[in-house]
Amino acid sequence: MEVKAFARYIRMSPRKVRLVADHIRGISVTEAENRLSVSSKWAKDPVFKLLQSAVANAVHNFKLDKAKLSVKTIYVDGGPTLKRFRPRAMGRAAAIRKRTSHIGIILTDEAVAAKKIIKKRYTKKLKAKS
């Protein structure tokens, strides 16, 4: 059983959020919550809220056990960019791009699927090093 959750228009650039999302991909929900609680990145807050929302949906709507859930997939895409301008010298203007993010997370209660993701990720890194 898979549970999906989405967050739209997070007021943070996708590059910053992806750093946090990479830390919790393919691990159990309890381990992901522990990692996010001690993280020093500001992007941990929207990711943590989305994770809690997905877990609550899984437990309440689908009657799944929280201890058996794992993060199968988490992705961060760019959202709409707010374009602003800042005044500069000699009457010029410099563009400021305020980026936003869309975050999606898929939880599964199958531990085997999460282990395959982790194994696949580390075998790619080992092949790249050699």
CATH number at residue 118: 3.90.470.10
pLDDT above 90 coverage of the chain, percent: 72
- What tokens does 92 get? 């010029």
If you average pLDDT over residues 21-45, what whole number do you get?
94
pTM of the predicted model, to two decimals?
Answer: 0.80
Convert the pLDDT of each residue in 34-83 to its tens digit: 999 999 999 999 999 999 999 999 999 988 999 999 999 999 999 999 99
Distance CA 55, CA 108 (A): 10
What's the total number of domains in the chain? Answer: 1
If you average pLDDT over residues 93-103, what whole number do you get?
96
Please say if the pLDDT value at position 110 is more than 90: no
Distance CA 82, CA 104 (A): 21
- Helices (H) and strands (E) counted in the chain, each on its own, are 4, 5
What's the domain range around 80? 2-129
